[in-house]
A and B are shown apart, each in its own frame.
Chain A
Amino acid sequence: MIWEFTGGADTVMQLTFCIIAIFYIIFSIILHYHWESYSMSLKITRMTYTYYFIASGLVLIPMALIAFIF
């Protein structure tokens, strides 16, 4: 018996979003570890966090809205 995917585009988007969210959490932890361990400037570390979280948030929030609400 051949398995057949019966979900629609919504299911694909929701599943993709969950995988991306897990990846994002792991990547953010790795990034945080490196900056906390090796950075020599608190100012640059904070600036990096700010830009990274703002940029990723601006992308992830619309992705979540599209996947789960619209």
Chain B
Amino acid sequence: MLEADEKVIRTVRAHWFIIGIELAGVAIFSILPPLTLVILANITETNELFSGIFDNMALLVFGCLTWLFFCIVAAAMMWTHYYLDLWVITDRRIIVIDQVAFFNRKVSSFRLERLQDIKVRISGFLPTLLNFGTLLAQTASAAESNFVSPNLPAPRELQSLIQTAMDARLKALHNPRSDLYN
């Protein structure tokens, strides 16, 4: 994937809050059936309408475990998509890897010298508090000229890092004998 002598400066994934909130959602979702059973167990003591519901306890437990199994599968999918979705900033390029779904992976890269503009957008209370936001990179490429990546951590630092890398790259290209070129 990397060119000869190309150095990785940083790899960036979405902010931990994003995967945290997704996994918390799955965790809450996974306890719904057992919680419903507990509520029903309390109701059956007073209400005859639900009295026969616990006649086949094995089936109910099996149903709850099936639900839990699919919650684990969903969590594994979310984690995989989160972890495999990343920006790789090297001393020559920015590689944007978008793991959309299983068997749906989009890898784009643009060279630092072709980078025209890089913008940061932090909107909302939580993104401001936790310092994450959207990074928009515009390139001079004829094909896909805009790269948008939401929920990146410390976007201002990232913007500064990319600009520094871009300056170093331009300096190296205009001064081939410089050490930066190697």
Contact = CB atoms under 8 A, between A and B. Distances in A.
Interface of A: 9, 12-13, 16, 20, 24, 27, 30-31, 34-35, 38-40, 44, 48, 52, 55-56, 59-60, 62-63, 66-67, 70
Contacts of A52: 72, 76
Contacts of B61: 62, 66
Interface string B66-109: 10110011011001100110100000000001010011010000
Given A38-B99, A48-B79, A66 B58 contact: yes
Contacts of A16: 62, 66
Contacts of B86: 40
A13 B59 contact: yes
Given A30-B102, A56-B69, A60-B69, A13 B80 contact: no
| A contact face: mostly helix, strand, loop, or mixed | helix
Contact of B58 (A13, A35, A38, A60): A13
B46 interface: no
A20 B76 contact: no
A62 B58 CA distance: 11
Given A52-B76, A66-B65, 4 more contacts: A31-B76, A48-B79, A62-B61, A70-B58
Interface residues of B, number: 24
B11 A40 contact: yes
Contacts of A9: 56, 58-59
Interface of B: 11, 56, 58-59, 61-62, 65-66, 68-69, 72-73, 75-76, 79-80, 83-84, 86, 97, 99, 102-103, 105
A24 B68 CA distance: 13
Contacts of A66: 58, 61-62, 65
B65 A62 contact: yes
Contacts of A44: 83
A59 to B, nearest CB: 5
Contacts of A55: 72, 75
B62 A13 contact: yes
B72 A59 contact: yes
Nearest to B68: A59
Contacts of A13: 58-59, 62
